């Protein structure tokens, strides 16, 4: 009887290691051994002769599931990073547009903008000083 290890761990059978995903031909009489029967019942090992779906590789092993899960996590992280970069670029463009708008404002508009932002302004502040205060608040 040939068996295939479908677990994530190395199994010792008759003093020989059976690596995950590897197959092994059992010695005569071992198919009725209590440990082998338990492994078969729990799906830790499968009978390659009876379970052709598992033996052909159509069944996904634990290692393959772990690899697929890790790829999905990596893809999700990449998508999140791309989304963050897009949002950061959008915020940067908005800030630059706001700075351009401030540079084009006159003193009355600058006073209203500064007051709306909660900045402390004096009546004797120059246009350039107001622009510097407002632009400094953006950064």
**Rounded Cα distance, 100 and 47, in Å:** 73
Identify the CA nearest to 18 among candidates 52, 38, 46.
46
The predicted pLDDT at position 111 comes to 87
pLDDT in tens, 59-111: 666 677 788 889 999 999 999 999 999 999 998 999 899 889 989 988 888 88
Share of the chain above pLDDT 70, in %: 91
SS3 per-residue string spanning the chain: CEEEECCCCCEEECCEEECCCCEEECCCCHHHCHHHHHHHHHCCEEECCCCHHHHCCCCCCHHHHHHHHHHHHHHHHHHHHHHHHHHHHHHHHHHHHHHHHHHHCCHHHHHHHHHHCCCCCCCCCCHHHHHHHHHHHHC
The predicted pLDDT at position 61 comes to 64
Average pLDDT over the chain reads: 85
pLDDT in tens, 109-125: 888 888 888 888 887 88
Is residue 55 scored above 50 in pLDDT? no
Q: Are 23 and 48 in contact (CB under 8 A)?
A: yes
The upper half-sphere exposure of residue 20, i.e. CA atoms within 13 Å in the direction of its Cβ, equals 10
């Amino acid at each position: 009887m040939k068996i295939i290890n479908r677990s994530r761990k190395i199994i010792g059978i008759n003093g020989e290691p059976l690596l995950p995903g590897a197959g092994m031909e059992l010695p005569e009489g071992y198919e009725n051994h209590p440990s082998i029967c338990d492994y078969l019942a729990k799906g830790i090992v499968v009978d390659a002769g009876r379970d052709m779906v598992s033996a052909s590789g159509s069944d996904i092993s634990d290692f393959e599931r772990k690899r697929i899960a890790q790829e999905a996590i990596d893809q999700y992280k990449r998508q999140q990073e791309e989304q963050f970069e897009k949002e950061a670029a959008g915020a940067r463009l908005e800030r630059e547009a706001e700075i351009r708008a401030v540079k084009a404002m006159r003193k009355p508009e600058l006073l209203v903008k500064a007051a709306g932002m909660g900045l402390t302004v004096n009546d004797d502040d120059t246009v350039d000083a107001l622009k510097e205060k407002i632009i400094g608040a953006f950064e």
